[in-house]
Amino acid sequence: MKRHLISAADLTRDDALLVLDTAEEMARVADRPIKKLPTLRGRTVVNLFFEDSTRTRISFEAAAKRLSADVINFSAKGSSVSKGESLKDTALTLEAMGADAVVIRHHASGAPHRLATSGWIGGSVVNAGDGTHEHPTQALLDAFTMRRHLAGAPDGGPTFHRGPGDGTGRDLEGRRITIVGDVLHSRVARSNVALLGTLGAHVTLVAPPTLLPIGVESWPCEVSYDLDAVLAKSDAVMMLRVQSERMNAAFFPTEREYARRYGLDGARMAALPEHAIVMHPGPMNRGMEITAEVADSGRCTVVEQVANGVSVRMAVLYLLLGGNEPAVATATPRTEETKQA
């Protein structure tokens, strides 16, 4: 495993499978009465968040605490950043306090890369979302969720799980994933296109032309402007939130027009194959990109994705900081020799 996790594109197929398989082990810990491992005892993880976050920040905090790490939560609001402190000075402060890992979310694309390569800190850097660039742990938890539902039989056959199952050792070869919505401003879409392609999936982006980035034709995916045309052959549909806070122009006529053309409602969900799942990275705008009927249906995996996010982030922190020993220790059966000893 590499020292930092900055981009999903940095992960090879073996890297990605290592994280996903380790996350399967971590998920079993969540079923225990005591959901803790001593793996990172004595290590310090800093959550450095310059943007608002609920799921990601709490997920990383829960992951670190379940691995027995010490957690420091840093929010730009109410800190010296609001007084004009630079990212460099903040990083040097964290280094002086002995941070072993820094989980950073920043409004500027490239900030995690700068932190990882500048020499300001000696610990590992995990990108928790930088501007409109990337969000690699979100892509990993999405792939983890898809693999549990869609991974084929061990012999490579087309058998699908009717519910979440153990996807250990499997990739997403041949699965068709459709990502719909505001691709232009979506770091989740960029990370998912890179990671899902690495895992062998076929990705199709669906959006109005105004919400597709320049150069998207060079991405390892297909592009469509017609949602209805791709639903019938999709194994998973991921709806993206329209990020109004990042928009400084009119990218579509009205919200009603957008929902009519690119929103997922009950009728469109019925057009999906029986095994297909509906995903959303959150937070959802109900009535915009997804209706309440779909969001609350049994085929929607939003809440499951949040639970899987803790397991995946536990795996990432363990692999970056923990090292070489098994993530989940197994008890050694007692033999006559050990009893006598």
Q: Enumerate the known binding-site residues for carbamoyl phosphate.
A: 55-56, 105, 135, 138, 282-283
**Helix (H/G/I), strand (E/B), else coil: 39:** coil
Asked whether the beta carbons of 147 and 167 are under 8 A apart, the reply is yes
Q: Enumerate the known binding-site residues for L-aspartate.
A: 83, 187, 241
Which residues lie below 8 Å from residue 250, measured CB to CB, with a gap of 6+? none
Question: Encoding tokens for residue 326?
Answer: 């098994």
Q: Enumerate the known binding-site residues.
A: 55-56, 83, 105, 135, 138, 187, 241, 282-283
Question: Encoding tokens for residue 263?
Answer: 């929103």
- The alpha carbon of 101 is separated from its chain's Cα centroid by a whole number of angstroms, namely 18
DSSP letter string, 15-33: HHHHHHHHHHHHHHHTTSS
| C-alpha–C-alpha distance, residues 89 and 180, integer Å | 39
Asked whether the beta carbons of 249 and 270 are under 8 A apart, the reply is no
Nearest to 186 by CA among 314, 8, 3, 1: 8
Q: What are the angstrom distances between the C-alpha of 211 and each of 54, 176, 180, 243, 329?
A: 25, 21, 10, 10, 47
| C-alpha–C-alpha distance, residues 276 and 297, integer Å | 12
Nearest to 121 by CA among 2, 3, 1: 3
| C-alpha–C-alpha distance, residues 219 and 9, integer Å | 11
Nearest to 142 by CA among 94, 112, 177: 177
